[in-house]
Structure 1
Amino acid sequence: MSAKVLAFDVYGTLIDTHGVVTELETRLSASGKAAQAADFSRRWRDKQLEYSFRRGLMGAYVPFSQCTREALDFTDRALQTELRETDKDHLMEVYARLPAFPETAAALARLDRAGVRCVAFSNGTAAAVEGLLDQAGIRAHFEAVVSVDEVKRFKPDPAVYAHLRQRLEVDPGDTWLISSNPFDVIGARHAGLHAAWVRRSSEAPFDPWGIEPDMTVADLDALAERLG
């Protein structure tokens, strides 16, 4: 068994947060704005993260699902898409069963065979993440789910990464954060962990903060090849 523990971010790293676009197209068709579905999805995700950052700074923690719903309400107003409450409820249900990225299951299986310990590490509550991983068919690859809800903070608060280390009971040098979110990678590196950036778009820039990932990969297959 490898000494390394890989802590995988969930939303945007294992799970495709834009897997809701098809459903958005259907729901936005009533207002004749189905063509805005992709833009709606991007804005929804950006606002979801912004709300978690703002609440973290304010010390006003709420479950991540509330940030998600408030971001949905905001995006609907901003784009004037006039979604009904029933549409929003349905979209939240869809968000709870988003698909994994295509290579996720095979990459995790490869890490399993190599004896690498893996955990899921998310802004989502444990119950939400458990459900998401179960429906995506990948829960069995993780020995545990570590949620920020346990400390009532959001990434990239240093307390969140300290909590991860305490839960894992491993040395910082053996702990790797795996994330497609630069803010998460920087937060982990700042807290003394190793971090790999999953750069899913070749055009995605990394924040110029002088804190770089230990490793950059295009997808989880490439990660498994290097860390498996």
Structure 2
Amino acid sequence: MTVTFAFDVYGTLINPHGITELIRKHVGDKAPQLSQLWREKQLEYSFRRGLMRLYRDFSVATENALDYASAVFETPLSEDAKAELLTAYRKLPAFDDTAPALNALHAQDSKMFAFSNGRLSDVNSLLENADVAKYLDGVISVDEIETFKPNPDVYAHFNKKTGSNPDTTWLVSSNPFDVIGARAVGWKAAWVQRTTTSKFDPWEIQPTKVISTLAELSGGVE
């Protein structure tokens, strides 16, 4: 049985807080908190747009969330500073375990795709910059159907584009909402619990597998 892996990007392969030191240059010691709120609002805005069916691509949610976080922490950003941060966001670093894990799975001839809320161009840029695109069979972006995870249509779109079956598709994600969305449509899912303080949502749906690093995938997921 051939397994198809759908790797979430932001928070799973790529570290969304990887430019905290650059943020610090503009806002000082509030940088970690601002980075956290930026990410939280980015996701919230994508959820809102998905529910309202008022689609704008993920880069809009990213920019709007940065504006919000800056306002909350009373750290106004000049246009140049804002542009610098948004440009850097398209070059976020991969987590340390990303390349070794993808390389190991690639050597096992696994089918692997990046699967993201991000624009195709942004995700391609991220993966190329992190030097991990070479391990993947392609990138599937929600931008093609103009809605966001965890809408069931997004997961169906992945299966259609990759020619995979729901019952042999494994999502790998650090985002509980994504794991729940995938499990709800019949996928299996590995939740990447990157820190012990990360908690899974109290839901009637649970991950198929819980891992702390991507390296644990090389032992198999059957």
Deviation at 1:62, TM superposition (A): 0.5
Deviation at 1:63, TM superposition (A): 0.8
2:114 alignment partner, SS class: strand
Name the residue aligned to 1:169.
163
Deviation at 1:224, TM superposition (A): 2.4
Q: Kindly indicate whether residue 176 of structure 2 is the aligned counterpart of residue 182 of structure 1.
A: yes
Structure 2 CA distance, aligned partners of 1:136 and 1:225? 24
1:18 alignment partner, SS class: coil
Q: Percent identity?
A: 45
1:170 alignment partner, SS class: coil
2:220 alignment partner, SS class: helix
Structure 2 CA distance, aligned partners of 1:197 and 1:62? 27
Aligned CA RMSD, in angstroms, stands at 1.1
- 1:38-93 deviation per Cα after TM superposition (whole angstroms, max 9, x unaligned): 00000000000000000111100111001000000011111100111110110000
Q: Kindly indicate whether residue 59 of structure 2 is the aligned counterpart of residue 97 of structure 1.
A: no
Deviation at 1:223, TM superposition (A): 2.1
Equivalent AA in structure 1 for residue 29 of structure 2: A
1:131 alignment partner, SS class: helix
Q: Kindly indicate whether residue 2 of structure 2 is the aligned counterpart of residue 3 of structure 1.
A: yes
2:219 alignment partner, SS class: helix
Equivalent AA in structure 1 for residue 99 of structure 2: A
2:69 alignment partner, SS class: helix
Name the residue aligned to 1:133.
127
Structure 2 CA distance, aligned partners of 1:19 and 1:200? 14
Deviation at 1:136, TM superposition (A): 0.3
2:85 alignment partner, SS class: helix
Name the residue aligned to 1:20.
19
Structure 1 CA distance, aligned partners of 2:205 and 2:129? 35
Equivalent AA in structure 2 for residue 149 of structure 1: D
Equivalent AA in structure 2 for residue 14 of structure 1: L
Name the residue aligned to 1:40.
34
Residue 124 (structure 1) aligned to one of 113, 118, 121: 118
Name the residue aligned to 2:45.
51
Name the residue aligned to 2:148.
154
Structure 2 CA distance, aligned partners of 1:106 and 1:205? 25
Name the residue aligned to 1:83.
77
Query: Tell me, which stretches of 5 or more residues in structure 1 are unaligned?
Result: 29-33
Structure 2 CA distance, aligned partners of 1:224 and 1:18? 26
Query: Tell me, which stretches of 5 or more residues in structure 2 are unaligned?
Result: none
Structure 2 CA distance, aligned partners of 1:218 and 1:64? 27
2:42 alignment partner, SS class: helix
| TM-score with structure 2 setting the length | 0.98
Structure 2 CA distance, aligned partners of 1:75 and 1:171? 40
